[in-house]
Structure 1
Amino acid sequence: MDDTEGLSNENVSGLSFGEDQYPNMNVADIIAQRFDDEEQKFFLALDHEVERILAFYLEREHEATERLSTLVEQLLELAEHRREFKAKTKKIPGGQLGLQRILSKVPRGLDSDEMNRLKLSTQNRQPQKPNEVSSSDEDDGDKRRAEVMEHIQNLHISELRSASPALSTQVHDPVEYKAARKKLRKAVIENYRALEILNNYRILNRNGFTKILKKFDKAMQSQVMHKYYDERVACTPIVQSPAVPKMLEALEEIFTGYFEHGDRKRARDVLREGAPQTLIGHATSHYSSAYRTGVFMGIALCLTIEGLRYAMQDRVQAVMPQWQQLLVVYAMEFLPALFALLFGLNLIAWQRVRINSVFIFELDAGNALEPWQYFELPALLLLLLSICFYLTFSTALNSPAISPTAWPIVWLVALVLIICNPLPIMHKSSRFWFLRTLARVANGGTLTSVEFRDFFVGDELNSLAYSFMNLWVMGCEYQNDWTMPSHCSTSASWWVPVLGALPAFLRFLQCFRRYYDSHRMVRIHLVNAAKYASSVLNVFFYFHYRHHGSQGSTAFALWILFASINSVFTSSWDLIMDWNLLQSNAHYPLLRSHLAFDDVWPMYYVAMVTNVFIRFIWVIYLFGGPASLPLRSFLAALLEMLRRWQWNFIRLENEHLGNADSFKIIRDLPLPYPVKRKPRNDEDDEEEDTRSFILGSIRGLDKKNQRMQSTIDTLESTKQDLEYARRRQRLETAV
């Protein structure tokens, strides 16, 4: 922040260059007398931009002040909570409790007191008797935190509610102190990053006006720059307001005093870590990761082709009667591995068009993987799978020491060991983020609230239903030593539709949780739940039809009915809700007003057609005999996985555009204590009048409002024509 401020001040100080040609004239008179009608349009457009940017900045600054006020109130509650925590608990002598000692407490009756005692023991503390003396009196933290609040008061941040400690009427649970402290620590970091972005916005626009005016002076051989800037920019809050720098300083003081025990350097490092990547991660070349990915993929491709060649040989099939079941099991393992690899292409495309996937998925900006770093792990898994596949069929004729049927389970064990490896290698933070997300998806919103990453990953799992179904087939084959293929088909047990419908059922639960969290106001979540209910019914009715040997007109009719309902429901939801297409007022017919992938806009139409086509891919089950059913099932599953990969591009684009339209740049983190709303009083009305006066003064700088609006409309139309011409030129060049 300090370096940027210095650069900005240097630029602003450079305004007073040359002699003042207009010593006794204001900028309005200069524009009217010295420039013709066409040149005055430039200043009309500039006035409009000043007003628009100022209105936006004042609104964001007010929101930032409100957030800081709420944080201060929460921190005062945290200080009171900490005093209760220290007063009612004491440290356990002898250091940390061992795991066995903690677990020894569990068999006793777990009433509320015992549960609290167990939770405190994990924090190396235990309840303190009322007559014992607390050590909190000797704690210097209270003094440090009081100094922080005094410093914030001395900053005199406008609109900030009083930071003076007030008597808390809330009774805090000492056991929950650590959780409350953790939540507020994250909230301070997120608010600091939001203020960094707002401060950069202020500096960027301030310097932008300077450069625009300098270019105009150079082109027109005039020196109106310093006059215009001094009268219409320098006096605005974009330049004059010290609120954002003061709030940044306040948050640094808070983080130092409350969370870093007075270590200011460490507090600054933590707050500023990843701040440049908060909006968009910078593309960085990772040559070693790209090289390893290429090597892994090349070897995997060769081994897969060679393994298929062995599998199709008659003599191999003669000594391996279970070769068809093995191919089905390997297909089950291949689809998720390939899907994970293709997701890296999603990451590359999102980064190219500056879609903020790091923020949307709530990744740690300091540790978020670049696409080429991400590719390395899926490529390694595909390499291991291809090795297992090759060894399964290439060693069948040689009486190997390891049974060919053992290799599929070897890959699954390797997968679990790699993903769950606790060592700080192979991007541990990203792997554990993925495991936490899977755990959140697995509870279906029953234990945690549902965030974007939860239902996004839940939708990804819906397109891997083929792999979930065949988990039972794999387990059945191992249970029967691969000797009873007729007993282990996908139509043999009701476990197959249960596993196949599990991802849709979890999304069904998530929709109800989102409806509950919206205070039962957003009923669209119920419609979404009905969509996933149709998916569950489709799976079960298809199994019912297959389970009876594809006989019976009633079972067939029910399956066709629910399959059609599900396909129409899901494809319509994809286009209208998930992709937000089919808008009547779009620049391109049936698309939307804003497109991130506007350079390849025809691909949206391709995606719409292929998405609907693959949603109806179940019709291939109506043709062919039982012998070709495994191949048809795999092809349908492969196409569904590719459809979801295509869906990812536009779904995240739509989410990013929604965040941009609502100016959402920080996560909505839960706060540990009830938020006290600011009552509206006369001072608020005066502040609102002040902001209105500032905006009114800007509007009154030029009396030609009608003409200005017409000019702006002309400029916007010209801009659109230029963009359209550029697109036409790029398309013609490509052709």
Structure 2
Amino acid sequence: MKFGKEFVSQMVQEWQDAYMDYNFLKSILKDALRHRQLNSQPSPGASTTTSQGPLKRRGSLYRAFSGLTSRYTRSPRKSSEDEEVILVSAVQEVGLDPRRYQTMFLRSSDNGGEYELLFFRRLDDQFNKVLGFYKKKVEEVVAEADELSKQMNGLITLRIRVEKPVMGLSGTNTSIASVGISPSPASVSVNGTRSEWTQMSVIQEVEMTSEEIDKPEDRDDGTAKAADTDHTANSRNANSSNCRPAPISITDHVHITVQPQSPVLAAKEILMSLNSDVSSTKAELRKAEELMMRAFREFYQKLQLIKSYCFLNQLAFSKIMKKYDKITHRNASRSYLKMVDDSYLGSSNEVSRLMERVEAAYIKHFAYGNRRKGMRTLRPKAKREKHRITFFLGCFTGCTVALIVGIIVALHARDLLKSPGRDQYMNTMFPLYSLFGFIILHMVMYAANIYFWRRYRINYPFIFGFKKGTELGYREVLLLSSGLSVLMLAGVLSNLDMDMDPRTESYKALTELVPLGLVGVVICITFCPFNIIYRSSRFFLIQCAFRCICAPFYKESLPDFFLADQLTSQVQAFRNLEFYICYYGWGNFKRRTHKFEESKLFEVFYFIVAVIPYWLRCLQCLRRLYDDRDTMHGVNGLKYFSTIVAVVARTGHELRRGFTWKIIAGTTSGVAMVINTYWDLVIDWGLLRRNAKNSWLRDKLAIQNRSVYFVAMVLNVILRLAWMQNILGFREAPFLHRRALIAVIASLEIIRRGIWNFFRLENEHLNNVGKYRAFKSVPLPFNQD
């Protein structure tokens, strides 16, 4: 793989505008090369080099950037002509920080010198951009490290409150050593109590410990070690005999600010706030530890990305200077890369030191000193593709095709499509099995979304907040959908086969329970507590679904309302689920007969079930309006309310029929379609920008072919028109039963939602790119006065 592609593949996508524009600089060098080829006259500065053949590559030179070698290997024979190609200087402009670097090209009068002059100007612009961004990020993580240190002090204080460690020598003052945070071995007494306590940050104290332990390489012999040991022992004895543990004054200034994540916790917090004497509980400590562990993991990941950013950019500057030397037959890279190495980008070590401190602090306070366990949490292994997934996916897909062929053969053998029992079968068994069809289609669309998100480098794991290494790829989702399709089609085929065989008539009741058994299997797999069949993803889905159900009581995140949007496209699946309950609990499933659809109660729930997904989404918008104070969320809630009115009107027209219902349903559906289409295209997708760089689209696009966006917009409008089929009177096609037509319309809505998913997440990703937002904000548990 060429470096340009590798460079793009490894960069942090949310920071892609802050990286060195390697392709742009490469294009300038290509222009310079074309100019040299058109002008065969060699430049005076390159005559000696060309006469000796192409410039020999010095591997140590091009690998000599910060992080690989300490300094550049200088050749014993240097040409003064090579050293005078460029002069690099640092200029401190007024009001600018950090200082900017400028390169003076000394051979502008040579043939093609104007291209080289332009190259170094643009190279300086890119380097200053990278340098400024890197320094800004380092300053942010340094400030965040200070805050984490204060939070760790608060966590230690909470541990002392809850666990109530053994009292110190004073009898009333609590010993700090019981929680194991002594900054150095010299400050711990023989009996395990701490003699002196300074309110030093935990990360700093761990660094001091590691530095004191690592000092032996600076000593000359074992005499110094022995002297230090004696001094430490004397200090311990003196401190243990003359001093008492100091009181923990920080306990009076730390307040727990863990936000309640459920109605029960919110009520508990209100009750505890009424009684200020209530002591801290172990549940609070456990929640605070979880938040701190998450904060440390996110912070460590941020440090890793910043370090990777520094490394890749230095590598890019080394590569582009290597290409410059190769094209121009000069040796200017030595001077420029030395400047890169001496700059803040190449010489700063704050990120590496912070990583060491975080590792030490996390292992000490959250992994109980187990380094392997701590590092496994901080650095989870990258997810690897497994061959068995592809194998089983192929097996299930082949079985699915075979079962479809078997069902077609069974239908023709029984001539079910023309038999008198066709209506009975379509009104009873088809809704039961079509529920699985809707779920499978949605999973297939989601798998397609994942494939295209990865292809166009949309960071969907970060947007959804998946734990690193647990996100499902499109192969895993297709594996689950194909497995479910095998179960569904096997149930359909067995049902048809048992109905055809006279010997199995006595087991008719059992055959009618096959769909219910499939539902039970799916529910058991979904809620299975064992670590099988992607437990982390299943539990993540369950948590999001639970927060959707309790929409007003939880602060909403993108996965929550994204899932709620998916549920709004599964209205027919919810109605089929209602049919399940009524068919097996109210109807006579042994004879495939039922009369509950004529009941008023069924009609009431037919309305309610259709409205529930939109109502939950509306409540989410109201909660976001309350949290963010953004009126756009209120407008979005009104959009869903208009959809609720349209759904109620369409359902009334479907059940009642009549000219009045038709007018109401047509009007409300038309208004809702216009509002929802505008919101999809303009707000969710960010398209239809008249003054954008890409006409009627947006400034940044993940797909280079702009026609894809216009096709998607047209499809969105057409598929939304499927809402109108019931109002316009298309209740049954000549070749389709009414139930089948309803299933087709519901499938079109699922397909529309799948298309919407891609562009919705693309817009979210590009917004993160525009704001350089590559990390999730983690709530911290404590507030210090």
TM-score interval (norm. to shorter): 0.7 to 0.9
For residue 299 of structure 2, give the secondary structure of its aligned residue in structure 1.
helix
- 1:614 to 2:698 alignment: no
Instruction: Select 1:396's aligned residue among 499, 521, 533.
Output: 499
Q: Offset of 1:647 from its aligned partner?
A: 1.2
In structure 1, what is the Cα distance between the partners aligned to 2:338 and 2:65? 19
In structure 2, what is the Cα distance between the partners aligned to 1:134 and 1:39? 71
Letter in 2 for 1:236: S
1:510 aligned residue? 620
TM norm structure 2: 0.72
Q: Offset of 1:189 from its aligned partner?
A: 0.3
1:289 aligned residue? 389
1:623 aligned residue? 729
1:666 aligned residue? 775
Query: Aligned ranges for residues 79-118 of structure 1 at < 5 Å?
Result: 79-87=156-164
Aligned residue pairs, count: 610
- 1:299 to 2:399 alignment: yes
CA separation of 1:309 and 1:140: change in aligned 2, threshold 3 A: same
Instruction: Select 1:143's aligned residue among 168, 179, 182.
Output: 182
1:719 aligned residue? none
Instruction: Select 1:476's aligned residue among 582, 602, 623.
Output: 582
Query: Aligned ranges for residues 385-464 of structure 1 at < 5 Å?
Result: 385-398=488-501, 399=505, 401-403=507-509, 404-446=511-553, 448-464=554-570
For residue 450 of structure 1, give the secondary structure of its aligned residue in structure 2.
coil
In structure 2, what is the Cα distance between the partners aligned to 1:458 and 1:40? 56
- 1:605 to 2:710 alignment: yes
CA contact under 8 A between 2:65 and 2:346: conserved in structure 1?
no
In structure 1, what is the Cα distance between the partners aligned to 2:593 and 2:560? 39
In structure 2, what is the Cα distance between the partners aligned to 1:133 and 1:311? 85
Q: Offset of 1:344 from its aligned partner?
A: 1.2
CA contact under 8 A between 1:441 and 1:455: conserved in structure 2?
yes
2:78 aligned residue? 19
Query: Aligned ranges for residues 27-106 of structure 1 at < 5 Å?
Result: 27=88, 28=103, 30-31=105-106, 36-87=113-164
Q: Offset of 1:386 from its aligned partner?
A: 0.6
CA separation of 1:271 and 1:137: change in aligned 2, threshold 3 A: closer
Query: Aligned ranges for residues 257-336 of structure 1 at < 5 Å?
Result: 257-274=364-381, 285-308=385-408, 310-311=410-411, 313-314=414-415, 317-318=419-420, 322-325=424-427, 326-336=429-439
Q: Offset of 1:319 from its aligned partner?
A: 6.2
In structure 2, what is the Cα distance between the partners aligned to 1:135 and 1:380? 59
In structure 2, what is the Cα distance between the partners aligned to 1:72 and 1:489? 66
CA separation of 1:320 and 1:47: change in aligned 2, threshold 3 A: closer
Query: Aligned ranges for residues 551-700 of structure 1 at < 5 Å?
Result: 551-553=658-660, 555-598=661-704, 600-621=705-726, 622-625=728-731, 628-674=737-783
In structure 2, what is the Cα distance between the partners aligned to 1:306 and 1:34? 80
- 1:370 to 2:473 alignment: yes
Q: Offset of 1:445 from its aligned partner?
A: 4.3
1:527 aligned residue? 635
CA separation of 1:259 and 1:603: change in aligned 2, threshold 3 A: same
For residue 26 of structure 1, give the secondary structure of its aligned residue in structure 2.
strand
CA separation of 1:225 and 1:16: change in aligned 2, threshold 3 A: farther
In structure 2, what is the Cα distance between the partners aligned to 1:533 and 1:11? 63
Q: Offset of 1:53 from its aligned partner?
A: 0.9
In structure 2, what is the Cα distance between the partners aligned to 1:624 and 1:208? 61
CA separation of 1:241 and 1:138: change in aligned 2, threshold 3 A: closer
CA separation of 1:485 and 1:601: change in aligned 2, threshold 3 A: farther
Q: Offset of 1:341 from its aligned partner?
A: 2.5
Instruction: Select 1:170's aligned residue among 240, 245, 254.
Output: 254
Give the RMSD, CA atoms, in angstroms: 3.1
Deviations 1:89-110 (A, max 9, x none): x9xxxxxxxxxxxxxxxxxxxx
CA contact under 8 A between 2:725 and 2:731: conserved in structure 1?
no
In structure 2, what is the Cα distance between the partners aligned to 1:353 and 1:465? 31
Q: Offset of 1:544 from its aligned partner?
A: 2.1
CA separation of 1:567 and 1:33: change in aligned 2, threshold 3 A: closer
CA separation of 1:611 and 1:400: change in aligned 2, threshold 3 A: farther
Letter in 1 for 2:205: E
- Which blocks of at least 5 consecutive residues in structure 1 are unaligned? 91-127, 157-163, 677-735
In structure 1, what is the Cα distance between the partners aligned to 2:497 and 2:172? 75
In structure 2, what is the Cα distance between the partners aligned to 1:33 and 1:625? 78
Instruction: Select 1:9's aligned residue among 52, 67, 79.
Output: 67
CA contact under 8 A between 2:157 and 2:250: conserved in structure 1?
no
62-71 or 505-514, larger mean C-alpha shift:
62-71
For residue 131 of structure 2, give the secondary structure of its aligned residue in structure 1.
helix
Letter in 2 for 1:337: I
1:688 aligned residue? none
654-663 or 33-42, larger mean C-alpha shift:
33-42
In structure 2, what is the Cα distance between the partners aligned to 1:155 and 1:584? 59
Q: Offset of 1:624 from its aligned partner?
A: 3.6
In structure 2, what is the Cα distance between the partners aligned to 1:429 and 1:608? 35
In structure 2, what is the Cα distance between the partners aligned to 1:538 and 1:629? 21
CA contact under 8 A between 1:470 and 1:490: conserved in structure 2?
no
In structure 1, what is the Cα distance between the partners aligned to 2:489 and 2:442? 15
Deviations 1:127-174 (A, max 9, x none): x9xxx9999777252437977542447999xxxxxxx99564235523
1:358 aligned residue? 461
Letter in 2 for 1:294: G
Q: Offset of 1:458 from its aligned partner?
A: 1.0
CA contact under 8 A between 2:441 and 2:750: conserved in structure 1?
no
In structure 1, what is the Cα distance between the partners aligned to 2:784 and 2:179? 28
In structure 2, what is the Cα distance between the partners aligned to 1:514 and 1:440? 13
In structure 1, what is the Cα distance between the partners aligned to 2:322 and 2:176? 61
In structure 2, what is the Cα distance between the partners aligned to 1:270 and 1:387? 42
In structure 2, what is the Cα distance between the partners aligned to 1:469 and 1:248? 53
For residue 70 of structure 1, give the secondary structure of its aligned residue in structure 2.
helix
CA contact under 8 A between 2:444 and 2:478: conserved in structure 1?
yes
2:277 aligned residue? none
For residue 10 of structure 1, give the secondary structure of its aligned residue in structure 2.
coil
For residue 513 of structure 2, give the secondary structure of its aligned residue in structure 1.
helix
Q: Offset of 1:224 from its aligned partner?
A: 1.6
In structure 2, what is the Cα distance between the partners aligned to 1:343 and 1:138? 52
Letter in 2 for 1:477: Y
Letter in 2 for 1:538: A
